[in-house]
Structure 1
Amino acid sequence: MNRTAVDLLADNAGHARAFAGRFDEVQDGQQPEAVTVCCSDSRVLQDHVFGNDTPGRLFTCGNIGNRVVQRTDAGEAVSGDVLYPLAHAGTRTAVVVGHTGCGAVTAMYGALTGDFDADDEPAGIRHCVDLLAPHLEPGVDRLPDGLDDAEAVNRLVEYNVDRQVDHLLGSDDVPEETDVIGVVYDFQDVYGGERGEIHVINVDGERDPETLRAEHGAVADRIRRLWTY
């Protein structure tokens, strides 16, 4: 077994010692407070970004591009891993977590602007890019003039989060009383504040920062967008 695997097991032993007494109330079932849909980028420590160390609190999903969409025989649908806690565990909060410098959005942007050829990628990666591209192509057309690639990508990160929020809100499979929140995790000093902060950009489809601050005063200082469209 290689050193990486050995180190992972050693770290798990420490985790087990620290968490041994924290599973008593959730050993036989779960009722998570929220489902989070994060990008699987290694720089996004999915539970840790919320300071979560409570088993059973968050139902955490991860994939490249923080997608809520999957393709089925009946067409596009909310991904089953996202939908499960909403449909079966009483969860009524869904949080879509994008992040600055997202590689999936960068690849999609490159594919749409001709700088990246998804056909050269393995089938699984092509599938992921193909799931994002149709939803984000209109965002490329709306980008302001004069942006460099990094600035364009970070605005499309927001656009992607918005589209995933819209898909959840528009699905008959998602309970109507579900609160759907879109956020961006910033580790690149793009939004200001501390690196590692999460910024709210969308609440139940509302994207205007001033409206959001007026409606959600308790978190007004965490509401920020790079662009509106």
Structure 2
Amino acid sequence: MNGTIVELLDGNAAHAEAFADRFDDVQDAQHPDAVTVCCSDSRVLQDQMWGNEEPGHLFTVGNIGNRVVQRAEAGEEVSGDVLYPIAHTGTEAAVVVGHTGCGAVTATYRALTDELSEPAGIEHCLDLLKPHLEPGVEALPDGLDGAAAVNRLVEYNVDRQIEFLVESDEVPASVDLVGAVYDFQDVYSGARGEIHVINVDGERSVDGLRDDHPDVADRIDRIWEY
């Protein structure tokens, strides 16, 4: 057996022992308080970033580029894995979490500004991001290096995903929609691993958000107000 798999199973044994009595209330049904949409990245720990150790509390979705969009016959739709907890479990909060140095955003940026060849499955994911990121690429300030450009586009991508949810008829207006960035590269002021709120229900002005949400004003920040 692959040594990493053995280590994972050992870790799972410890998990099972610690969590044995935490599933009593959620064995037959789930009613998560929020759905979180994060990027598929080994550095993005979807439950640990929130300090969550409670089964049933968060409905976690991970994909390349923290997308809420999927392509259907009729065009773009809210992804089923994002919509499911909202439509069927009473979840009334959705959080889209990008992260600094995002590989999906980097690849999409390269695909829009240069040639990039990826396997078909990855290309499909990038194609879902391209139309949403292309206006952001065109609006980038001059003189940015690659890393600075990508981190601005990380915010832009989160904004576009939140915008898609705000405009969707499938998402009730009662659902709170929050966009955020997880920083482990010292891009924002704050500790590594901190989450910075950049968008609430489509509002992305830092001053406006801080006025509207004074209880979390110190967690609201952006690097690009466009």
- Check whether TM > 0.5: yes
In the aligned structure 1, how far is the partner of 2:189 from the partner of 2:12? 34
Stretches of 4+ moved more than 6 A in 1? Answer: none
Deviation at 1:173, TM superposition (A): 0.8
In the superposition, the TM-score normalised over structure 1's length comes to 0.98
Map Cα deviations across residues 132-151 of structure 1 (whole Å, 9 max, x no partner): 01110000011111110000
- Give, as a single letter, the amino acid of the residue that structure 1 aligns with 2:218: D
- 1:127 CA displacement: 0.1
Q: Report the CA distance between 1:98 and its aligned residue.
A: 0.2
Q: CA deviation at 1:126?
A: 0.4
Separation in 1 of the partners of 2:9 and 2:76? 38
| Distance in 2 of aligned mates of 1:198 and 1:174 | 24
Deviations along 1:183-211, whole A, 9 cap, x unmatched?
00000000011000000000000000000
In the other structure, the counterpart of 2:74 is 74
Instruction: Work out the CA distance in 1 between the residues paired with 2:97 and 2:144.
Output: 23
Secondary structure of the residue aligned to 1:21 is coil
Query: Aligned with 1:61: secondary structure?
Result: strand
Q: Which runs of 5+ in 2 are unaligned?
A: none
**Aligned equivalent of 1:93:** 93
Partner SS state of residue 76, structure 2: strand
CA RMSD of aligned residues (A): 0.6
Residue in 2 that maps onto 1:199 = 196
1:184 to 175, 181, 185: 181
* Separation of aligned partners in 1, 2:131 and 2:96: 18
SS at match of 1:59: strand
2:6 and 2:190 mapped to 1: Cα distance? Answer: 37
Corresponding position of 1:8: 8
1:148 to 135, 142, 145: 145
Please name the residue that 2:33 is paired with.
Answer: 33
Asked if 1:138 corresponds to 2:146, the answer is no
TM-score (norm 2): 0.99
Q: Secondary structure at the match of 1:22?
A: coil
Counterparts of 1:13 and 1:84, CA distance in 2 = 30
The alpha-carbon deviation at position 4 of structure 1 amounts to 1.0
